[in-house]
Chain A
Amino acid sequence: MSENLKRVMVIGGGIAGIQASLDLAERGIVVELIEKNACIGGRMAQLDKTFPTNDCSICILAPKLAECSRHPNITLHTLSEIKNLSGQPGNFNVKIFKKARYVKEDECINCGVCIEKCPMRVDDEFDMKLRKRRAIYIDYVQGVPSIMTIDRENCLFFTKDACRICEKVCEREAIDFDQKDEEFELNVGSIIVAIGYDIFEPTSLVSLGYGRYLNVVTALEFERLTCASGPLGGHLKRPSDKNEPKKLAFINCVGSRDIKNNPYCSSCCCMYTTKEAMIAYEHDNEIETSIFYIDLRAAGKGFREYIQRGENDYAITYIKGKVAKILEDDQKNPLILYEDINTSQVKQLKYDLVVLATTMVPKKDAGELAKILGIKIDDYNFFKANSYHPQKSSKEGIFLCGACREPMDIPTSVIDASGAAAKAAEIVMRG
Chain B
Amino acid sequence: MSYSYFLGCVIPGRLPFLEISARKTFEEIGMKVGDQAKCSCCPDPTGAAQLDHETFLALGARNLCLFEESNSHILSLCSGCTESLKTVKHILDNDDEKKKEINSKLKIIGKNYKGNIKIKHFAEVLYENIEKIKEKVKKPLKDLKVAGHPGCHYLRPSEIINWDDPLNPKTLDELIEAIGADPIEYDMKNDCCGNPVEKTDKEISLSMLESKLKSMKEAGADCIACVCPACYQQFDFNQREINKNKNTDYNFPVFYITELIALALEIDTEELGLNFHRIKVNDVLQKIN
User: A-side interface residues toward B, CB under 8 Å?
Assistant: 206-207, 327-328, 330
Contacts and interface: CB of A to CB of B under 8 A. Distances in A.
Contacts of B187: 327-328
Contacts of B218: 330
B167 interface: yes
6 contacts: A206-B167, A206-B168, A207-B167, A327-B187, A328-B187, A330-B218
A337 to B, nearest CB: 11
B188 to A, nearest CB: 8
B170 to A, nearest CB: 11
Interface string B185-196: 001000000000
Nearest to B218: A330
B171 to A, nearest CB: 15
A166 to B, nearest CB: 44
Contacts of A330: 218
Nearest to B167: A206
Contacts of A206: 167-168
Contacts of B167: 206-207
Ranked nearest first, the 6 interchain pairs of A and B with the lowest CB-CB distance are A206-B168, A206-B167, A327-B187, A207-B167, A328-B187, A330-B218
B11 to A, nearest CB: 31
Nearest to B187: A327
B interface: dominant SS: loop
A327 B218 CA distance: 14
A316 to B, nearest CB: 29
B213 to A, nearest CB: 16
A330 B219 CA distance: 11
A328 B215 CA distance: 11
A interface: dominant SS: mixed
Interface of B: 167-168, 187, 218
Nearest to A330: B218
B95 to A, nearest CB: 22
A330 B218 CA distance: 10
A206 B169 CA distance: 11
Contacts of B168: 206
Nearest to B166: A206
A415 to B, nearest CB: 40
B201 to A, nearest CB: 16
Nearest to A328: B187
A330 B215 CA distance: 11
B197 to A, nearest CB: 15
A206 B168 CA distance: 7
B105 to A, nearest CB: 35
A203 B196 CA distance: 31
A241 B187 CA distance: 21
A330 B186 CA distance: 12
Q: Which of A206, A327, A330 has the most chain B CB within a 10 Å cutoff?
A: A206
B96 to A, nearest CB: 26
Contacts of A327: 187
A330 B187 CA distance: 11
A330 B217 CA distance: 13
A207 B169 CA distance: 12
A409 B168 CA distance: 34
A86 B139 CA distance: 67
B72 to A, nearest CB: 36
A328 B188 CA distance: 11
Nearest to A329: B187
B168 to A, nearest CB: 4
A207 B167 CA distance: 7
Nearest to B185: A212
A207 B156 CA distance: 15
A350 B187 CA distance: 16
Nearest to B191: A325
A328 B218 CA distance: 13
A100 B35 CA distance: 70
A330 B168 CA distance: 22
A207 B188 CA distance: 11
A416 B77 CA distance: 60
B173 to A, nearest CB: 14
B27 to A, nearest CB: 37
B150 to A, nearest CB: 13
A328 to B, nearest CB: 7
A330 B214 CA distance: 13
B283 to A, nearest CB: 26
A207 to B, nearest CB: 6
A206 B166 CA distance: 10
Nearest to B169: A206
Contacts of A207: 167
A354 to B, nearest CB: 16
